[in-house]
Amino acid sequence: MHILRPIKSTDFDALRQIAEESGHGFTSLPVNDDMLREKINRSEQSFIKQISTPQDEGYLFVLEDSETGNIMGTTAIEAAVGMTVPLYHYHQGKTVHHSPTLGVYNTVDILSMCNDYTGASEICTLFLREPYRKGLAGRFLSRSRFTFMADHSDRFSNTVIAEMRGVSDENGHSPFWQWLQEHFFSIEFPQADHLVGLGEKVFISELMPKYPIYANLLSEKAQAVIGNVHEKTKPALRLLEKEGFEHRGYVDLFDAGPTVEARLHNIQTVQDSSVAKVNICEPTGTGSLAISNQKLNDFRATFTEEALYHPQNNTLDLHPNVASALNVTSGDSVRIFKL
């Protein structure tokens, strides 16, 4: 079985390997041992923290192969971004240059730096290792975090965002950043990317242009990538769009990748999921069901065909092996959705 669970300190080696495999532009997992250990520790503290409103918690999960113990991938949720370190975006807008006297009317695209998503919850750090990118694992990894948020909604904002990786080449060079570097910075994109991953964002407010940027002044290559995603990020974006996430003109400062958003209660997985009582037996399933145990620090989720949902009485027949993996017994409540 594939089991999604909170990360723990013994997963450090696996998390470091994922950080190395994720490559340039994956700022939420820097290849830095101290930072990765801090992320694990922060996550462990977040899961046991007693709160009533979202603050600065970060929940980091790993997907484990229960047969081999191998860590297949990871995903995370930031409870409220921008509360301690500012979160910057460019917002795409327009300005009009109009002269009735000369008969001139020009509409120009502009990029304005902002902090509009301060306090929003962010889904991030979604990465499935290459050997496991088949079947339903990726879809399960993406969608199961929404069931966790639904069951613990007091820990999250109703606005949920996802920052998608923008266009860059195999060496990590971004056409958008190259224009910024030429005019405002003197460091390469991978270095800026690395600094952001380390949480060192002071240089943004120090060096970024304070006024809106006219998009038509950028190079053609830079203009072409605004709001577009990295080739490897397209499947993740498609999954989020199916969930109801939309791009509303916010892009990353460095690679101009889009940030998409949705309301938590409007996310498709949240709307399609059901809460059911467990009945442990040996059912004949009718398709893959994703199941989470609704717990916090002991959160577990998996997907299986060894389960049968009865909507008429809101019960779920569940095989003993699956129940054991989820740490549930007969009569416990679980949240389910069809994969």
Catalytic residues: 230
Q: Which of 206, 224, 205, 202 is nearest to 215 (CA)?
A: 224
Could you give the CA distance from residue 269 to residue 339 in angstroms, rounded to a whole number?
10
